[in-house]
Amino acid sequence: MTLFARVMGVLALWIGATAPALAHGPTPQKAEEKITIAAPPAKVWAALKEFADVSWNPGITKTEATGGNDSGASRSITLKNGKVLVEGLDEYSADTMSYGYRLSTENLEALPVSFYSATIAVTPSGDGSEVTWIGRFYRGDTSNFPPENLNDEAAVKAMTEFLQEGLKGLKAKVEGSG
């Protein structure tokens, strides 16, 4: 190998290693999960409404937050795998019992997605409530040749499971509290 080729090789590695943080891909993916809860919407919203309090979600073991329920508030959530994600609150509406937030600091070891925004909302449904949680996100590796653990399918699976587990936890908490 010539010196030139070696230098170019090192340069290529260096460029790869300094790829920008929170880059996202050109083609987003979606997940949508719903659950019905046998409790009035106000009671479900009461369990959900603090952006800083995610104790209803068994997928999250620890939360640190600042900014309350104001747009721009931030929370660090520790997932069951011990890894941390930081999320920022965009829009909060007690009237419509919903809030929308986005990922501020990605962590592919926590969740194999490079960016997401999500909205959770409570609506009346029959005698009880329905909670809808939707997410828009990008695969972990946004290049055109992602490894299997960081491709679109892996991102959709991880996000879908995360939403499902959270909603089940919310249902158990609200229905279990009488």
Partner 1 sequence: MRFLCLRGSAVAAMLVTWLAFASASLGAEKLYVLSQTGAKLTEIDLATHQLGASVALEKAPAALTFSRDSKLAYVTHPDLGKISVVSLGGQRVLRTISVPGSPFGIAVAGNGRIYVADWNGADVAVLEPSDNGATQPRIVKVGRAPAHVLLTPDETTLFVANRESDSVSVIRASDLEVVATIAVGRAPFAMALSPDAKRLYVGNVQGGSVSVIDTAALAVVETIKSGAMPYGAAVTPDGARVLVTNQQSSTVAVLEAGGAPRPGVRVGGYPEGIVIDASGHFAYVANWFSDDVSVLDLASLKEIRRIKCPGGPRSVVIARDP
Q: Binding to partner 1 (CB under 8 A): which residues in 21-40?
A: 23, 25-28, 30, 32
Nearer to partner 1, 66 or 143 (CB): 143
Closest-CA residue to 51 (of 97, 95, 92): 92
Report phi then psi at 173, rounded to 5.
-65, -50
Q: Binding to partner 1 (CB under 8 A): which residues in 61-120?
A: 90-91, 100, 102, 117, 119
Residues 6+ apart with CB under 8 A from 111: 79, 83, 85, 158, 159, 162
H/E segment holding residue 113: strand 113-125
Nearer to partner 1, 47 or 154 (CB): 154
For partner 1, which stretch binds (CB under 8 A), given 8-16, 17-25, 38-46, 158-166? 17-25
- Which listed residue (2, 14, 17, 20) binds partner 1 by CB under 8 A? 20
Closest separation in Å from C-beta 71 to partner 1: 8
On the 0-12 / 13-18 / 19+ scale of CB atoms within 10 A, 70 is exposed
Are the beta carbons of 71 and 92 closer than 8 angstroms? yes
Q: Where does this chain bind partner 1 (CB under 8 A)? A: 20, 23, 25-28, 30, 32, 90-91, 100, 102, 117, 119, 134, 136, 142-144
